[in-house]
């Protein structure tokens, strides 16, 4: 068992920065920005590689300016970013020696990954790359050539084990390129395992040994062993070498965070889109509100998790205006309230009915989501709070009105007005944070 406890210890070491930073940008960008019907378009519409090549021939993102992306991420309060170096369609945004299907062979003639990494590092952000295990383009990934849908993929019938091992060499080779030619990377984000395509089907022990030897500090997601639904040996007290450093719930914030079988917290990051798609989708205008995004971020942190929030730049290379507006709004909130996010985690209190707590040492952050309430009840905190201040402006919030102390012996009480007043609107009615010391 020694090996496994050391896997957990090393995971704890490697993920320290990750658990402090809490908030990152996911970027889904590739040829699918041109059809603009989501990153699964080739599979969903059964587009042949020959027809899909139209987009390769046309790809020319003349307004790609990763410094602008990096500024938007930083202003939003994000501390790291993850770009799709290769998605399921197999198109590489980097100058791989192992394929011609890459951005440097398009009209762009640019190594888009390299420029992304430079720009985000220059803004002081940590950087990661997404790499799809699934590959609809590679000729030795035969199961997807006729039928791109993995859930309906009958690999026993369609996949030739000998040619598949050539795909594995290609995949391992590209991971080696990314970890060798692009400087220090902070995150490696694989996507995804499904059905029988799990773990050693990817030669995962060998792959992880290579990753650890090339970049010992990089953190890896858990998808060499699982899909977006969660799972894998990271959830046990007996994780395998390729169990990954963090769990990656997709489009969901787990009700109770992520814990292993013994109830210990596991590092985790919810990956969530701004609208209903990952890749740029012109007709999808169902964007989440600024408030919804802020509350999702707070919810993740209140359960010891991170939020990796996705943007899908368009074919010109720009993050859509709607997305930029949301990021700016989240950034305005973060500019005043990020002390309740960074280095914070779950509080030793149950969820209050008016919002959520986060905690950092002896500082408790009361995130108030209900509107138009003049006072809130702090169950179980009577006598434990020295002072209460609005995090946004440092202004005083009143504690412990005498008659409340009598009515609620266990509770403290916060009031946003002088003690005589019964109700009073909160200074900022939405997503107000009170710092309790
Ligand atoms: O990269 C993003 C997604 O493309 C990828 N993971 C995130 C991070 C992902 N792979 N699989 N899935 C998500 C789940 C599969 C969903 C599907 Fe479908 C249901 C595939 C086909 C039906 C969603 C809906 C995609 C196309 C239609």
**pLDDT of the residue at 426:** 56
**pLDDT of the residue at 154:** 42
Q: Is the pLDDT of residue 4 over 80?
A: no
Q: Name all contacts of 51-59 with Cβ < 8 Å and 24+ positions apart.
A: 52/89, 52/137, 55/31, 56/31, 56/91, 56/101, 56/106, 57/106, 58/34, 58/107, 59/31, 59/34, 59/103, 59/106, 59/107, 59/108, 59/315
39 Cα to the center of ligand 1, angstroms = 8
Question: What does the pLDDT average to over 266-280?
Answer: 98
**Domain 355-436: CATH architecture, name and number where available:** Sandwich (2.60)
**pLDDT of the residue at 304:** 98
For the stretch 68-126, pLDDT in tens is 999 999 999 999 999 999 999 999 999 999 999 999 999 999 999 999 999 999 999 99
Q: Is the pLDDT of residue 433 over 90?
A: no
Q: What is the mean pLDDT of the chain?
A: 90
Ligand 1: lining residues by beta carbon, under 6 Å: 28, 39-40, 44, 149, 191-192, 228, 250, 271, 278
Q: Is the pLDDT of residue 407 over 50?
A: no
278 Cα to the center of ligand 1, angstroms = 9
Q: Ligand 1, residues 40, 83, 252: which to mutate, most atoms within 8 A of Cβ?
A: 40
Kindly report the pTM of this predicted structure: 0.94
Lowest mean pLDDT among 86-90, 237-241, 307-311, 369-373: 369-373
46 Cα to the center of ligand 1, angstroms = 15
18 Cα to the center of ligand 1, angstroms = 25
Q: Where are the domains of the chain?
A: 2-340, 355-436
For the stretch 137-163, pLDDT in tens is 998 886 554 444 544 444 444 556 678
- Nearest Cα residue to atom 25 of ligand 1: 40
Q: Is the pLDDT of residue 422 over 80?
A: no
Superfamily of domain 2-340: Glycosidases (3.20.20.80)
Between 259 and 427, where is the model more confident? 259
Q: Is the pLDDT of residue 294 over 50?
A: yes
Question: What does the pLDDT average to over 232-251?
Answer: 97
Does 2-340 match 355-436 in CATH topology? Answer: no
Q: Ligand 1, residues 86, 228, 276: which to mutate, most atoms within 8 A of Cβ?
A: 228
Q: Which atom of ligand 1 is nearest to the CA of 84?
A: 1
40 Cα to the center of ligand 1, angstroms = 7
52 Cα to the center of ligand 1, angstroms = 18
């Amino acid at each position: 068992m020694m090996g496994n406890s050391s896997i957990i210890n090393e995971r704890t070491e490697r993920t320290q920065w990750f658990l402090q930073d809490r908030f990152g940008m996911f970027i889904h960008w590739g040829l699918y920005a041109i059809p603009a019907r989501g990153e699964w378009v080739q599979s969903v519409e059964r587009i042949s590689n020959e027809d899909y090549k139209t987009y390769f021939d046309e790809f020319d993102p003349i307004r790609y300016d990763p410094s602008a992306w990096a500024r938007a991420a930083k202003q939003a309060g994000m501390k790291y970013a993850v770009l799709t170096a290769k998605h399921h369609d197999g198109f590489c945004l980097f100058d791989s020696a192992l394929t011609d299907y890459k951005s440097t062979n398009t009209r762009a003639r640019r190594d888009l990954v390299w420029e992304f990494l430079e720009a985000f590092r220059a803004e002081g952000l940590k950087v990661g790359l997404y790499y799809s295990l699934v590959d609809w383009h590679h000729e030795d990934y035969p199961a997807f050539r006729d039928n791109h849908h993995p859930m309906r993929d009958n690999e026993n019938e369609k996949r030739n084990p000998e040619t598949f091992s050539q795909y594995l060499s290609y995949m391992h080779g590209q991971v080696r390129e990314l970890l060798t030619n692009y400087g220090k990377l902070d995150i490696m984000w694989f996507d995804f395992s499904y059905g029988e395509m799990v773990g050693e089907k990817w030669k995962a022990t060998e792959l992880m040994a290579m990753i650890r030897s090339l970049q010992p500090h990089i953190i890896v997601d858990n998808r060499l062993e699982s899909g977006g639904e969660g799972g894998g040996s990271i959830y046990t007290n007996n994780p395998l070498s390729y169990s990954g450093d963090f769990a990656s719930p997709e489009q969901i914030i787990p009700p109770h965070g992520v814990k292993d079988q013994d109830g210990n917290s596991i590092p985790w990051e919810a990956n969530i889109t701004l609208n209903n798609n990952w890749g740029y989708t012109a007709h999808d205008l169902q964007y989440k509100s600024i408030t919804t995004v802020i509350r999702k971020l707070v919810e993740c942190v209140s359960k010891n998790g991170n939020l990796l929030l996705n943007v899908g730049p368009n074919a010109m290379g720009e993050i859509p205006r709607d997305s930029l507006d949301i990021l700016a709004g989240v950034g305005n909130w973060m500019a005043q309230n990020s002390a309740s996010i960074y280095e914070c985690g779950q509080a030793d209190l149950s969820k209050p009915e008016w919002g959520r707590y986060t905690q950092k040492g002896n500082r408790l952050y009361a995130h108030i989501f209900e509107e138009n309430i003049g006072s809130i009840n702090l169950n179980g905190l009577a006598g434990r709070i020295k002072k209460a201040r609005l995090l946004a402006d440092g202004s005083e919030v009143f504690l412990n009105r005498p008659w409340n102390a009598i009515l609620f012996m266990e509770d403290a009480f916060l009031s946003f007005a002088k003690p005589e007043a019964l109700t009073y609107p909160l200074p900022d009615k939405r997503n107000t944070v009170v710092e309790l010391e």
